[in-house]
Amino acid sequence: MIVIAGLFLSFSALACTNANSSISNEKDGVESDSTKGDVPGDETSKPEYLTVETFKEKIWDYEKNPQEWVYEGSQPVIIDFYADWCKPCKMVAPILEEISEDYAGKVKVYKINTDKQKELASVFQVSSIPTFLYIPASGQPQMDKGYKDKAAFERIIKEILLVE
């Protein structure tokens, strides 16, 4: 279990360590703040990259509500905390793209580069990657880490995110 601003988030283990490595293969420039795929039912939905600002706007403004989880979105979310140098992160990226397309309009997939968004990695105490934050439309978020195959993500979506 991990406590974030008074919230309890559950964890299971398997991942790369050294999440805050300064090594990065990402191209110079700013992460994409693409809004492609924001339209429910958009079949070309792709994971969207979050910054501190977009995280606060779309997910949780932890400065405004430091003691209480107040989800700003309306649909379930998977957030992938990753780094470009991490092999398991690279392996899970195409799976999350498939999940984003398969569940377009039902589950949103976001990505947070822990090398570029160190504040967000710190807020969630991400010490190994990939780490995933699962946010149901209502209820408390849960965290998990380590590589997962598509079947594992589909099970999580069914059991945690799309529960009525």
The whole-number pLDDT of residue 44 equals 55
127, 19 contact by CB (below 8 A): yes
Please give the domain boundaries of the chain with CATH numbers for all domains: 2-13+37-161 (3.40.30.10)
Tell me which of 9, 77, 86, 157 is the catalytic residue. 86
Question: Does the active-site annotation cover 16?
Answer: no
Q: Which of 112, 164, 117, 161 is nearest to 141 (CA)?
A: 161
Residue matched to tokens 């309306």 = 74
- DSSP label at 36? T
Tell me which of 15, 59, 83, 89 is the catalytic residue. 89
The predicted-structure confidence for 90-123, as pLDDT tens digits, reads as follows 999 999 999 999 999 999 999 999 999 999 999 9
Cα–Cα distance, 139 to 131 (Å, whole number): 20
112, 81 contact by CB (below 8 A): yes
Strand partners, 41: none
- Positive or negative torsion for Cα 76, 150, 163, 80: negative
Cα–Cα distance, 31 to 54 (Å, whole number): 11
Question: Does the active-site annotation cover 86?
Answer: yes
Per-residue pLDDT 10s for the chain (164 aa) are 344 444 444 433 345 765 344 333 333 333 443 333 333 444 458 999 999 999 999 999 999 999 999 999 999 999 999 999 999 999 999 999 999 999 999 999 999 999 999 999 999 999 999 999 999 999 999 999 999 999 999 999 999 999 87
Rounded to two decimals, the pTM is 0.78
Main-chain phi, psi angles of 123, to 5 degrees: -55, -40
Cα–Cα distance, 97 to 94 (Å, whole number): 5
The whole-number pLDDT of residue 45 equals 82
Cα–Cα distance, 8 to 76 (Å, whole number): 18
